[in-house]
Structure 1
Amino acid sequence: MLRRLTALGLGLVLLAGCGTEGLRETPAEPGATSPATVEITTADAQAAFDGLGDLSDAWKDRDCAEIEQLTTGVESTIGSRLCAAGRSPGPTAYRDPEFLLPGREDGEDGAWFAVLARKPEPAYFVFVRADGRWRLGAGPIPLVGKAPDVGGGADGEVIDAAADPDTAVGARLAPTRHVAFLTDPAGVGGDGVSGVRFASGDPMRRLLVELVRAPGRVRPDHLSTDVRIEGPARALALPGGGSLVFHALRVVFTQKPGSGRSSLAHPRYRAADVRAFTGGAATTVTGGEILVLATRVAKDATMTTVGMRRVLADITKGSGQGSG
């Protein structure tokens, strides 16, 4: 049972750096060849989670440089473009956290932990140690299914899937298998050629249907789609096998007018959104939508979407592939 700790007065989606103190590194035994293990304390996790208010203030002040300092990974990618475009992820306070604290066999930078915040609505957050401070790497990732039991101890200690040979491969391949599924039009009927399956009702099934049907819905405009992996995946081993993987995908839509036309007939993005990101109007546009995901990978490699957030992170003029 994980220890549930309550953080009061939280700000938005995000996290403040907590200095360089508090992280313990346990050295290997004398003569051993294995690397030291970084141990994250509940105090570290509580301080990082309590510090989300500083990032909230940065968003309110539109302080893009501070937002960049307080985030990393996918959240830095999202934040840099949203802030430059004058957009915001929206002020939402989270509280009642459960900490998931994996030990990690490497240096201090790269250490990470996850949080399942229960209120106001359950959502995951992932914090990463980068350049000597804790930064928000992903989150919030709203829960869309049942949160799996990660089997934490009294202080929330769990196992990094990378350290468990039985789960490491499946966890590492989860983002690649998502891309295979979402680029397989035959998968709409449930019998795609990729070999990847999601249960009926899973958000990935609905997204595949959307991607397959999207070009037909904007005719006579031309619309192409692409799906890519966005940044690294981090995963926790689950009791009994399998893993809980935190990762992200970028879905890129490029839309241009049909033959003989000088403007889009059915723009995918609102004119106000195009202006915010590009500074003006555009005939051909490329939009980057980021999916931040929590995926359960079962022992038999079956995947289930546990958490999902979808963000319009970028729009560029022309048929470029968006920032990434």
Structure 2
Amino acid sequence: MRRRLFVLIFVLSVMAGCGVRTDGQVTIPETEPSSKTSARVELAEAMDAFGVLKQLDDAWQKRDCAAVERLTTWAESTLGGRACKATRNGRPAPARKRYTEAEFFLPNAADEDRWFVALARKPDPAYFLFVNEGDNWRIGAGPILVTGKSREPIEGAVPTDDPSTGVKARLAPQRYLAYLTDPAGVSGVTFPKGDAIRGLFGELVQRTEKVRPDRLTTDVRLIDGPQRALKLPDGGALVIHALEIEYRQKTGPGRSSLSHPLYGKGDLRGFTGKAKPAGLTGTEIVLVATEITGGTKMSTIALRRGLATLTAD
């Protein structure tokens, strides 16, 4: 049976308020050692873990980078490291919304990697990946903003050793990497018209032209991590994964500073402290929720990008 719950905003406010101190620091509530013999995530536990979102929102608002680090993991922690410290140097803190009416999809797998996915319906649909580390729940990815329609997962995670759906779930990140690094299209990887990843691909191609006479090179890499994929009807899968895009921008001949910096004044000031750098190296994280059908089709149903690091020459 698929487990779901729509959580009202006043319930979340009560649950998530625990662990917030009035001295400007955000703490994680102490978690008692689990007495369960199974590693399976239960609905009540997932519902309680969703309250970590409010703690993270408060930490960002107060620029409490130590709390941001404790409340995040995997790809989301990369977005909260130097990016959080940059907000102390004048970069605006990210505008984080208070998400409610969550529907929980539990992997129902009794292994050491304890995780679940939540789909918050309001204020805008977004996916979140929660991961349990050291008996504390942390946000591994999210919000990942919904950009397309998806079928609802059915009970259970996709086994990594599944010879059909499991293989397709493992290959999904690699296929994204092949698509984004293949301007000629020789890999044969395609996405449907209007897919969000096609828009990102177009931007990667156009950025080189937009910054001229500056020079720009781009690298795309995968962010490693355990497979986190939920079963969809008819042999499909919902896969949560992440990419890293690194931009290296240099001045053109005869110039001492960049003509068209990729990033604005707030980012430059917060990360580098410079207004007119001679070169930039920036790393963006792309969080993705992908739907794989029972056949071979693949589509992006949710995507979010964020600047993780920026250095100046």
Is the TM-score greater than 0.5? yes
The TM-score, its normalising length taken from structure 1, stands at 0.84
CA distance in 1, matches of 2:309, 2:35: 35
Pick aligned residue for 1:100 from 102, 105, 127: 105
Task: Tell me the CA shift for residue 201 of structure 1.
Answer: 1.0
CA distance in 1, matches of 2:297, 2:107: 23
Pick aligned residue for 1:24 from 20, 36, 42: 36
Alignment of 1:41-52 (within 5 A): 41-52=42-53
Which deviations, in whole Å up to 9, do the C-alpha atoms of 1:51-74 show, x marking residues without a partner? 322222222221111111111111
Q: Tell me, what secondary structure is at the counterpart of 1:276?
A: helix
Residue in 2 that maps onto 1:78: 79
Residue in 2 that maps onto 1:220: 213
2:52 touches 2:137 (CA, 8 Å); kept in 1? Answer: no
Larger deviation: 3-12 or 279-288?
3-12
Residue in 1 that maps onto 2:148: 145
Q: Provide structure 2 residue ranges, at least 5 long, that are not aligned to the other structure.
A: 17-25
The number of residue pairs the alignment matches comes to 294
Residue in 2 that maps onto 1:263: 257
Cα 1:45/1:313, change in 2 over 3 Å: same
Task: Tell me the CA shift for residue 148 of structure 1.
Answer: 1.7
Letter in 1 for 2:297: T
Pick aligned residue for 2:119 from 109, 112, 116: 116
1:15 touches 1:53 (CA, 8 Å); kept in 2? Answer: no
Residue in 1 that maps onto 2:23: none
Cα 1:208/1:17, change in 2 over 3 Å: farther
Letter in 1 for 2:129: V
Pick aligned residue for 1:184 from 182, 185, 188: 182
1:256 touches 1:283 (CA, 8 Å); kept in 2? Answer: yes
CA distance in 2, matches of 1:58, 1:266: 33
Q: Tell me, what secondary structure is at the counterpart of 1:244?
A: strand
2:144 touches 2:302 (CA, 8 Å); kept in 1? Answer: yes
2:282 touches 2:310 (CA, 8 Å); kept in 1? Answer: yes
Q: Tell me, what secondary structure is at the counterpart of 2:176?
A: helix
Cα 1:245/1:17, change in 2 over 3 Å: farther
Q: Tell me, what secondary structure is at the counterpart of 2:301?
A: strand
Residue in 2 that maps onto 1:307: 302
Task: Tell me the CA shift for residue 172 of structure 1.
Answer: 1.0
Q: Tell me, what secondary structure is at the counterpart of 1:113?
A: strand
Which deviations, in whole Å up to 9, do the C-alpha atoms of 1:256-313 show, x marking residues without a partner? 1111211111221113311211222421001111111100122223210000111122
Residue in 1 that maps onto 2:20: none
Q: Tell me, what secondary structure is at the counterpart of 2:102?
A: strand
Residue in 1 that maps onto 2:160: 162
Letter in 2 for 1:272: G
CA distance in 1, matches of 2:27, 2:301: 23
Residue in 2 that maps onto 1:31: none
Letter in 2 for 1:307: A
Residue in 2 that maps onto 1:126: 129
Cα 1:5/1:163, change in 2 over 3 Å: farther
CA distance in 2, matches of 1:66, 1:39: 27
Residue in 2 that maps onto 1:35: none
Pick aligned residue for 2:224 from 228, 231, 250: 231
2:40 touches 2:110 (CA, 8 Å); kept in 1? Answer: no
Root-mean-square deviation (Å): 2.2
Larger deviation: 284-293 or 208-217?
208-217
Cα 1:15/1:217, change in 2 over 3 Å: farther
Q: Tell me, what secondary structure is at the counterpart of 2:224?
A: coil
Residue in 1 that maps onto 2:21: none
Residue in 1 that maps onto 2:138: 135
Identity %: 46
CA distance in 2, matches of 1:56, 1:118: 18
Alignment of 1:47-58 (within 5 A): 47-58=48-59
Q: Provide structure 1 residue ranges, at least 5 long, that are not aligned to the other structure.
A: 27-37, 153-157, 187-191, 319-324
Residue in 2 that maps onto 1:317: 312
CA distance in 1, matches of 2:41, 2:205: 43
Q: Tell me, what secondary structure is at the counterpart of 1:246?
A: strand
Residue in 2 that maps onto 1:294: 289
Cα 1:89/1:301, change in 2 over 3 Å: farther
Q: Tell me, what secondary structure is at the counterpart of 2:50?
A: helix
2:5 touches 2:103 (CA, 8 Å); kept in 1? Answer: yes
Which deviations, in whole Å up to 9, do the C-alpha atoms of 1:188-238 show, x marking residues without a partner? xxxx10121101111111211211121112111101111111232411121
Residue in 1 that maps onto 2:173: 175
Letter in 2 for 1:144: T
